[in-house]
């Protein structure tokens, strides 16, 4: 069996909360927020691993520990077998620029760069020659269906198109892991579905490890090979969609997919024995 590409061991993250003006002026009075509590997790190469939970449950914090944008208060994150805490400065830069790509809810494109140069950005900072990086950027734009707008600027594009640029920009360096934080949450439902379809078709063409954060269970069920449920900084349940549906670990898990059509996954034989209908 292959090795996990990412492993978390007893990861904790506490924030000493930002003082509001005047209120918590004395440092020792600042309350601490436990954003992550004892997270243990393995993510496998080629899977779409979805992290679901309500707002404030710690999803973004968890995602950002994976490329060391956030350093855990304690515990260890291993990426391709290497502890992130032991990386040199150069290795840390390589992790963020080459081994991982990130897509944000807010798109976070460069307004003053055209589409082609937005997509080519990661290669530019890696020192790739202009012709080569433009060639690679054009290939990525073709894959996301945006070849016709390479000279346009982000402000001239719809939200869905801007996020396709965001996706192409993240993928241009061919990262081992793609990190997506509520990447489709700002889009209209139809466009959002189109983006999910695009992501699944890209994944079918070329398997990549994707860690996808969402608060939407329907999206999680559609995209995830496995789903991790977070509640108040804790990992409540991790498993494939049919397991989550047929054997929800807690009422909170069940609550997350209330109103979602789960008929596609219901009562797979292998889980029928552990599933208990609520009285
Ligand atoms: N920089 C920060 N300083 C203080 N508290 C933070 C910070 N970032 C997040 N938090 C808190 O940590 C918890 C988890 O936040 P977050 O990871 O953003 O959750 P989610 O992405 O699921 O909405 C929340 O209570 C949030 O208010
Ligand atoms: Mg978040």
Q: How far apart are CA 216 and CA 64, in angstroms?
A: 19
Which bound ligand lies closest to the C-alpha atom of 61?
Answer: 1
Q: 35 CA to middle of ligand 1, Å?
A: 6
In terms of average pLDDT, the best of 28-32, 57-61, 257-261 is 57-61
Q: How far apart are alpha carbons 164 and 112 in whole angstroms?
A: 17
pTM, two decimal places = 0.92
Given a contact cutoff of 8 angstroms between Cβ atoms, the answer to whether 50 and 228 are in contact is: yes
CA 58 – ligand 1 centroid, Å? 6
Rounded to 5°, the CA angle 156-121-204 comes to 85
Kindly state the percentage of the chain with pLDDT values over 70.
90
The model's pLDDT over 119-143, given as tens digits with 9 standing for 90+, comes to 999 999 999 999 999 999 999 999 9
Q: How many CB atoms lie within 10 A of CB 194?
A: 16
Which residue in 138, 163, 133 sits closest to 148, CA to CA?
A: 138
Q: How far is the CA of 270 from the centre of ligand 2 (A)?
A: 34
Specify which residues 6 forms β-bridges with: 43, 79
77, containing H or E segment: strand 74-79
Q: Which fold has domain 6-272?
A: Rossmann fold (3.40.50)
Which pLDDT band, with edges at 50, 70 and 90, does 279 fall under? very low
Q: Where are the domains of the chain?
A: 6-272
Q: CA 235 to CA 78: how far, in whole Å? A: 18
Which of 58, 217, 234 has the most ligand 1 atoms within 8 A of CB, as the residue to mutate? 58
Answer for the pair 70, 33: CB distance below 8 angstroms, yes or no: no
Question: Distance from the CA of 186 to the center of ligand 1, in angstroms?
Answer: 19
Report which ligand 1 atom has the smallest distance to the Cα of 54.
Answer: 22
């Amino acid at each position: 069996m292959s090795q996990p590409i990412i492993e978390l061991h007893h990861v904790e993250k506490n924030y000493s909360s930002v003082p509001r003006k005047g209120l918590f002026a004395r440092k020792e009075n600042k309350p601490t927020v436990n954003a992550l509590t004892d997270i243990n997790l393995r993510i496998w190469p080629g899977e779409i691993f979805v992290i679901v939970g309500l707002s404030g449950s710690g999803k973004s914090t968890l995602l950002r520990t994976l490329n060391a944008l956030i350093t855990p208060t304690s515990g260890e994150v291993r990426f391709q077998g290497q502890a992130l805490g032991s990386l040199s400065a150069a290795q840390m830069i390589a992790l963020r620029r080459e081994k991982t790509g990130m897509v944000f809810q807010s798109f976070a494109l460069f307004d003053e760069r055209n589409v082609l140069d937005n997509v080519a950005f990661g290669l530019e900072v890696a020192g790739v020659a202009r012709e080569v990086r433009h060639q690679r950027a054009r290939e990525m734009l073709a894959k996301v269906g945006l070849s016709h707008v390479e000279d346009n600027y982000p402000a001239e594009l719809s939200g869905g198109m801007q996020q396709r640029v965001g996706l192409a920009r993240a993928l241009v360096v061919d990262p081992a892991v793609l990190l997506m934080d509520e990447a489709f949450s700002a889009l209209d439902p139809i466009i959002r579905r189109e983006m999910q379809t695009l992501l699944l078709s890209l994944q079918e063409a070329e398997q990549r490890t994707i860690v996808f954060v969402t608060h939407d269970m329907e999206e999680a069920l559609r995209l995830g090979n496995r789903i991790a449920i977070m509640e108040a900084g804790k990992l409540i349940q991790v498993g494939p969609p049919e397991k989550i549906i047929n054997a929800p670990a807690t009422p909170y898990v069940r609550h997350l997919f209330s109103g979602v059509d789960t008929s596609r996954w219901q009562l797979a034989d292998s889980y029928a024995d552990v599933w208990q209908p609520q009285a």
